[in-house]
Amino acid sequence: MSRDFARRNAAPNRRASAPKGKPAPAWLWFVMGAIFGAFAMTLVFTLHKPKPVQGPAVEATKPAESESKTPKPRFDFYKLLQESEQIVPATETIGDAEKAAENPASNIEYILQVGSFPNQAEADKLRAQLILLNLDAHIESVEIHKGEIWHRVVVGPFDSQEKLATARSALVNNQYTALVLKRAKNAKK
């Protein structure tokens, strides 16, 4: 018997040779690899913790570090400022200043300290700026501690609170800060 091979249906053969499932997408492989890598790194770090070095090497470095450090500076100006501080009462009025001026026993004057510099040139520069503001500024050189000389720029002296207030407002208007100091008339520091 003869067969006709021309009319044969080829479609069933193609279906049989096709793969049964789709391959996994590339992003899924990437995510699975990242998860596996993170798990592996966590496992490695937990099992292999570095041990601290103990022994003479650590003890030998501690004295060398303490010897190389410079001593901390001592600041004496906190004590000096507290000892020389004069608090001017804010409630003192002009009438009180006039009564004090009439009383010969009270020889008190007020000055404004605008700055204090270790360098004479800086003090002269500030003094010149204050003179341009029409203020009576001068420099007082003071030995603070063991030959250390500071140059104070002061405005005044003022005999009344009224003159002090006008000078202080002129300084504030020109953005200068000043300390109000009260001292005896004969004392020059």
Arithmetic mean of pLDDT over the chain: 75
User: What is the 8-class DSSP label of residue 49?
Assistant: P
The tokens of 150 are what? 């500071």
Give the three-class secondary structure for 60: helix
User: Which residue did the predictor score with more confidence, 55 or 84?
Assistant: 84
Domain locations along the chain? 77-184
The reported pLDDT for the residue numbered 36 is 96
pLDDT digits (tens, 9 = 90+) for 104-132: 546 788 888 888 888 888 888 888 888 88
CA atoms within 13 A on the CB side of 8: 7
150 DSSP assignment: E
pLDDT 10s digits, 152-187: 888 888 877 888 888 888 888 888 888 888 877 765
Helices and strands (H and E) in the chain: how many: 7, 4
Give me the half-sphere count of Cα atoms (radius 13 Å) on the Cβ side of residue 170.
19
User: Tell me: the pLDDT tens digits for 100-111?
Assistant: 555 554 678 888
Q: For domain 77-184, give the CATH superfamily.
A: Sporulation related repeat (3.30.70.1070)
CB atoms inside a 10 Å sphere around CB 167: 23
